Amino acid sequence: MKIAISGVSGFIGKHLAAYLAGQGHRIIPLTRSLFREDAFTRLVNALEECDVLINLAGAPIGRRWTRRYKQEMYRSRVEVTSRLVSALKSAGRKPRTMISASATGYYPAGAEYDEYHTVAADGFLASLCRDWEAAAAGCPADTRLVIARLGVVLSPEGGALRAMAAPVQHTKLSVVPGSGRQAFPWIAMQDVCRAFAFFIEHRETAGVYNLVSPQRISLKQLASALAKAYRAWAVLPVPSVAFRSILGERVSAWLSGQNVYPLRLLEAGFGFFVPTVEHLLGLPDVRTVTSLDIDRYAGLWYEIARYENSFECGMTRVTATYTLRPDGRIRVENAGYKNGVKKHAVGRAYCPDTGEPGRLKVAFFLWFYSDYYVLELDKENYGYALVGSSSDKYLWILSRTPVLPPRVLDALLASARKRGYDTRRMLFAPGNLPMP
């Protein structure tokens, strides 16, 4: 197909053009010169050659929002989109599809919103999105229109991720703006390109789609992920007022915290290649189970496999016994054999956040607590579990029996690999070997 792209020189436009060209499509760049008053006929002629029009034009939002620059942001989006729609209406042979960008800044902060919610926020950014989309909605009826409301597009190759990562790399501090509870709607560049290709290929898609990852994360969780990825010493909260004094009004695009979900995109059958920030940053996916009954989890567990670690080095026949105490805390007893001698250690555990019951804290010495994350669990019988931590340093497979059925073991190993763990590092207890 011949695909016309406005904004092709921008960060997203360059990646998308390269991606679509790699799929065999011919890219027709709609350069700024085509949007001059005396170039309207040339713009119409360019569109008549194309099967698809992708509208990504827009001045970057990452600059200080002076009154003059806000006018430029508006002009480069709304007026350029109106110009494209006028050219479409004048074209004899029209592109069959128009995909026009918008942003998740359309939505208010607070509640979760999907594409079926029509409520819009107040303020400059939301107003800009409304007018931007309204301009695109004027396209001819025989041209299929898709509105792509983009979250923050992240790529290791630059853009917002590089801007966020640079200070972490240089200072070894990862900063949390304000409370850190604000939602952070994002999407990986790979999935942006794949989603646009999906819209082109699936002619039944039309209307508004949220281009955001299905992973719901907060600014605090993002800061923690960046800290792990770039080995920061600490995660530091900074008052919102400090960000406003430095960044000005554009900080609202970060601190408002739209909680956006890609419901229609998932309903259409789109699968995300990079579903989590951890995946994007090369970190293991440490999302835990959403429910954990400590009474049922208590009791004896056999260690089926583990990453070798300092406190279990050389040990065999390792077990862990969990006992729920009257005060709600958990007694933990680890036991095993080393050089034929049985050793054991007694510690304690607790759940620091009832909203995340799969995340526990465990200590065997004084107040030095470590993370204990229940990643996968046999929810029906509590017969086996995959346990990790906040990094890829620890990983265990546990079972109520000394030997785990091969199909169950393989399923847990597959889940660990999908999460980003290197299962080749695992040591297996006797009688427990993965299928070849």
**pLDDT tens digits for range 58-79:** 998 878 888 999 999 999 999 9
CATH fold, domain 2-152+184-214+256-277, is: Rossmann fold (3.40.50)
Q: What residues does CATH 3.40.50.720 cover in the chain? A: 2-152+184-214+256-277
Q: What is the rounded CA–CA span in Å between residue 216 and residue 214?
A: 6
**pLDDT tens digits for range 308-328:** 988 899 999 999 999 999 888
Q: Tokens at residue 41, please? A: 């006929």
Q: What residues does CATH 2.40.128.20 cover in the chain? A: 294-428
pLDDT at 123: 87
Mean pLDDT on 368-395: 92
Question: pLDDT band at residue 435, thresholds of 50, 70 and 90?
Answer: low
Mean pLDDT on 365-386: 92
Q: Tokens at residue 116, please? A: 């079926």
DSSP 8-state class, residue 108: P
How many C-beta atoms lie closer than 10 Å to residue 384's C-beta?
22
Contact (CB, 8 A) for 342 and 336: yes
Q: What is the rounded CA–CA span in Å between residue 15 and residue 20?
A: 9
What are the φ and ψ backbone dihedral angles of 29, each rounded to 5 degrees?
-70, 130
Question: pLDDT band at residue 287, thresholds of 50, 70 and 90?
Answer: confident
- For the full predicted model, state whether its pTM sits above 0.95: no
Mean pLDDT on 6-32: 95
**pLDDT tens digits for range 196-250:** 999 999 999 999 999 999 998 998 889 999 998 888 888 888 876 666 666 666 6
294-428 in CATH: which number? 2.40.128.20
